[in-house]
Amino acid sequence: STYKGNDIERFYRYGLLTNAELQIYKPWLDTDFIDELGGRHEMSEFMIACGFDYKMSVEKAYSTDSNMLGATHEAKDLEYLNSSVKIVNPIMGVKFWDESVKIPAEEVTVRFEQGHPVALNGKTFSDDVEMMLEANRIGGRHGLGMSDQIENRIIEAKSRGIYEAPGMALLHIAYERLLTGIHNEDTIEQYHAHGRQLGRLLYQGRWFDSQALMLRDSLQRWVASQITGEVTLELRRGNDYSILNTVSENLTYKPERLTMEKGDSVFSPDDRIGQLTMRNLDITDTREKLFGYAKTGLLSSSATSGVPQVENLENKGQ
């Protein structure tokens, strides 16, 4: 029953946040309602008995919710892990797993300006909704962005769903390609850590909480503001794709810096020797710690331990 779901808490939080005087009535918290209708199966039967041609009939093996960003299929047969994605009829894409479905390869170019998607295949969109719908159409033709997820709900119980998000997947692939070509390692690490935190807050219905506002401002100001450029991909079946080209005036990836060919370089072999020598203190510290772990029995000389056989080294006076 859906009193076990996430949306009830999200609607409750956002409702009272918007209007503190709001009176909340949720049928799934009404025991009389539950006693009468029980669950989704009984509700489907009730609507059909009342003459409504309900699209989610009792025969359907799962329940579906959707908006323009994606769709989720869950409940009924999908509650059992031996029911796979193959029982689902996608509503935003195609059955990419069905070999009888012809899916020709397709090239698509996505353009971002300061972290905002603005163009697909050279067509600029002033309307974000139209941009999203077109991204859905392109990704959906290939079954892109369809996944099978086991997740932890707000109440800490695990649930399982089949998700569709063709447009979001397409934009995400292009965005992260630009991200990795523009920002340094530490920034990318913080982006992923903060993104995961922000995603969890969104999941919990805390999009307007102060911690979410702080994360959103940081990610938009210091990360997204530099994401300008174009990424060209070849989409095939499902989540099978290739990145064909990446163009941005903000790229810090520069082939000449690390070319394997002979030529001018910003640093010399002697410079690298000096850099490696500076690691000697750290290496010495690590060796001493390994000796210490071996003495206390935390490490052994077993070849299966997957770590240096420090006891052997110590016995040899190394």
The DSSP secondary structure of 78-110, one letter per residue, reads GGSTTS-GGG---SSS--TT-TTS----EEEEE
In this chain, the answer to whether the domains covering 61-253 and 269-315 adopt an identical fold is: no
For domain 269-315, which architecture applies? Orthogonal Bundle (1.10)
User: Are 63 and 73 spatial neighbours (Cβ–Cβ below 8 Å)?
Assistant: yes
Report how far apart the first and last C-alpha atoms of the chain are (Å, whole number). 65
Q: Can you give the residue ranges of every domain in the chain? A: 61-253, 269-315
Q: Which of 183, 196, 193 is nearest to 224 (CA)?
A: 183
User: Are 174 and 234 spatial neighbours (Cβ–Cβ below 8 Å)?
Assistant: no
Alpha carbons 47 and 58: distance in angstroms, whole number: 10
Higher per-residue confidence, 195 vs 52: 195
Residue type, 232: T
User: Are 28 and 8 spatial neighbours (Cβ–Cβ below 8 Å)?
Assistant: yes
Which CATH topology does 61-253 take?
Answer: Argininosuccinate synthetase, chain A, domain 2 (3.90.1260)
Cβ contacts of 75 within 8 Å, gap of 6 or more:
40, 62, 63
Region 223-252: mean pLDDT is 98
- Mean pLDDT for all residues in the chain: 89
pLDDT of 222 reads: 96
Residue 79: CB atoms within 10 A of its CB come to: 12
Residue 304: pLDDT band (50, 70, 90) is very low
- The predicted-structure confidence for 79-96, as pLDDT tens digits, reads as follows 999 999 999 999 999 999
Higher per-residue confidence, 44 vs 249: 249
User: Are 117 and 111 spatial neighbours (Cβ–Cβ below 8 Å)?
Assistant: yes
pLDDT surpasses 80 at 262: no
